[in-house]
Amino acid sequence: MKRTAIRLADGRELIYFDERDDAVRDQPDRRELPSLPPASQLRYDPLTEEWVAVAVHRQTRTFLPPPDECPLDPSVGDRLTEIPAPDYDVVVFENRFPSLSGHVVDAPGEVTPFTPLRPGVGRCEVVCFTSDHNASFASLSPTRVRTVLDALADRTVALGGLPGVEQVFCFENRGVEIGVTLHHPHGQIYAYPFVTPRTRSMLAAARRYAERTLGGNLYADVLAAERAAGERVVASNAHWTAYVPAAARWPFEVHVAPHRPVPDIPALDDAERDAFAPLYLDVLRRFDALFDMPMPYIAAWHQAPVRIDRDLGHLHLQLFSIRRAKDKLKYLAGSESGMGVFINDIAPERAAEMLRSA
């Protein structure tokens, strides 16, 4: 894989990840762009002990443009986009409308004595999986998936090395039902200046389990139990297992986990990276086959924090959809949104059976 980094017209970094070593990436960004927005504001909620980002500049971000105005397509002729090259394999670039960034203007302060605030220091990047606007992740080749995985590993290391970054989150949102604002197949990477609430909760459970079992790895033992039971396993190979969690929150939710406990994507070896693609592509295609239509989903990589509790983490990909039937969606209503208590309409065992049969 060849890696080439350039700067866009407004100073943002863009990196080409090419599958050919002879790829030439010397096309300049010929656009005139406005100055970068200031970093968002982080406000602390003392009632939940969580940080909330207030990023008012994101109100102006591009929203579902027509196909001939997609900013993630290659630049061709006078049609200039975020990617200056006329074609590409995988591209990663700094988000033009970031929730977190290094462009700090405001100093720390407080809203009230209970609500301190600080700049939203970090970084948000966009990951374009292919130059084909009409493709999807499920339509990628295993070779391309490996390139994407290598790019995510590269960015996890790079972003984890930035000052103040505590956690790196790689994810993909797919489908207007989920809330995507661009149809082009792409994902995102967030570099947070704190450990996220979901990860803190999982780490706390893993720590209690390790203390109770004198060093046991909670996720590894849960994975082993699911593999032994087999009832909720959707697919597996020598290095990975895809299964529906016994306490799945979403109608269709699958964890894709490596058999070897590793903290993050960079820790995967070559054999594990190669084995991921065919299994994950199989699961994605089963999602689309469930109702014979593109399935809206979120694919979220759970990685260990950058600096703490890395021994407690176990890398895995959480894939889930809000579609519960061909003509029905699951909304986060009162119990889920108000109290955080999920109510699943489909038994995990039934969901696994449906996916195996799809």
Active-site positions read 186
d(CA 223, CA 241): 8
Q: Which residue has the tokens 């103040």?
A: 164
d(CA 318, CA 199): 13
Q: Which residue has the tokens 């592509």?
A: 281
Alpha-helix runs per DSSP H in the chain: 142-160, 197-212, 218-229, 270-290, 348-357
- Those residues whose C-beta lies under 8 Å from the C-beta of residue 282, and which sit 6 or more positions away, are 235, 242
d(CA 230, CA 187): 31
d(CA 131, CA 195): 33
Token pair in block for residue 229: 């039971």
Token pair in block for residue 106: 């405001």
Q: What is the DSSP letter of 101?
A: B
- Judge contact between 256 and 319, C-beta under 8 A: yes
Token pair in block for residue 188: 């995102």
d(CA 147, CA 311): 27
At residue 34, what is the residue type? Answer: P
d(CA 222, CA 293): 32
Element (H, E) at 50: strand 50-54
